[in-house]
Amino acid sequence: MAEKEAEQKSRKDSSLEPNVHLIVFKLGAEEYGIRIEQVKEVTITPEITRMPKTPAFIKGIANIRGDIIAIMDLEERFHIAPVIPENGPVHKHTYTLALEAKDYTIGLIVWEVPQSLTIPVSKVDKTPAFIQDININENYIEGIGKVDGRLIIVLDILKILTYEEIQQLKD
């Protein structure tokens, strides 16, 4: 009887705890998440037009609901090797997460339909200090989410691009 009461109390406590709502997707073999409030929409990737003099990780521009936005490949940005199944690529489409910052909108290409996930804030650990020290100018990793045996790297998408890159995209 005491076990049931403890379990119910634990459930009540966790329901009072603040949560973080993430959009989760894979880059390579790892799972990444972005806070849902940073994601404007998710859509099948439209045709991309390559632009000259842009970094290799910027695949080009695309028309998403009348807005022309730059499309970024995070696997290429982070130097992550894509995972290709033994039978070859099975993806008919890629998906684009349209992200809205104060000064710009950008699209991120992902290979699978992103999933929505809500986890308690207490399940998101701060990024280990040595990783932040290595990436001193790239503190875009907000933390590591731990849920059901999974590790999800939580990104602060607003810190992924440098000031110079943002200026280049705006011009």
**Residue 137: what pLDDT?**
46
**Residue 144 β-bridge partners:** 125, 153
In the chain, what is the straight-line distance between the N-terminal and C-terminal CA atoms, in Å? 66
Whole-number Å distance between alpha carbons of 49 and 155: 27
Rounded to whole angstroms, how far apart are CA atoms 48 and 70? 9
pLDDT at 64: 92
Residue 127 per-residue DSSP state: P
Tell me the whole-structure pTM to 2 decimals. Answer: 0.79
C-alpha to C-alpha distance for 45 and 35, rounded to whole angstroms = 20
Return phi, psi of residue 77, to 5°.
Answer: -60, -40
pLDDT the model gives residue 104: 80
Please give the Cα distance from 36 to 85 (Å, whole number): 29
Out of 3.90.340.10, 2.40.50.180, 1.10.10.10, 3.40.50.300, the CATH code matching 2-170 is 2.40.50.180
pLDDT digits (tens, 9 = 90+) for 32-76: 999 999 999 999 999 999 988 888 899 999 999 898 999 999 999
Residue 72, amino acid: M
Q: What pLDDT is attached to residue 86?
A: 65
Residue 171's pLDDT is 59
Average pLDDT across each block of 10 residues of the chain; the chain has 171 residues. List them in order: 51 70 94 93 94 89 92 91 67 83 86 92 79 55 90 88 74 59
Cα dihedral 71, 75, 78, 81, rounded to 10, equals -160
CA–CA–CA angle 155, 159, 160 (5° rounding): 75
